Amino acid sequence: MAIDDNKKDDGKPLTREQYRKLKLQQEEDFEARDKRRVQVEREYARKHQQEGPEAEPEPQATTRTHENINPADDFKTPRWHRINRKLNWTITILILLMVIVFLVLFFVN
């Protein structure tokens, strides 16, 4: 729209009534555009939702063959066990080093 917020095309300031009408018209235009946008988005979603299940790949079978696997243990891969072991050793070493530093500070005083 070529109209400034507070002035008409001829340079005169808008009255309050004209300003309100202008703002109301802008809001109605926005609502109409938004309503059309939402409608188009819904049509697009419906169209692609119907095509979606055909295009999705089937879930991959896991390498585990046991029937009695606890779902909570699913993340415990061999890599997880290796990292867990390293982390436990690191924590133990750090605690021992802290005890040694404490003893040195206590007796060297």
**pLDDT score recorded for residue 70:** 67
- Distance (Å, whole) CA 43 – CA 41: 5
- Provide the domain count of the chain: 1
Domain of residue 10 covers 1-54
In a domain, 77, yes or no: no
Phi, psi of 25 (to 5 degrees): -65, -40
DSSP characters over 67-90: SS--GGGTT--HHHHHHHHHHHHH
Q: What is the pLDDT of residue 14?
A: 86
Question: If the chain, 109 residues long, is cut into consecutive pieces of 10 residues, what is the mean pLDDT of each piece?
Answer: 59 88 94 94 88 57 59 79 96 98 91
In this structure, is residue 19 part of a structural domain?
yes
* 4 occurs within a structural domain: yes
What local confidence, expressed as pLDDT, does residue 104 receive?
94
**Is residue 50 assigned to a domain?**
yes
In a domain, residue 21? The reply is: yes
Rounded to two decimals, what is the model's pTM?
0.36
pLDDT, residue 74, reads 76
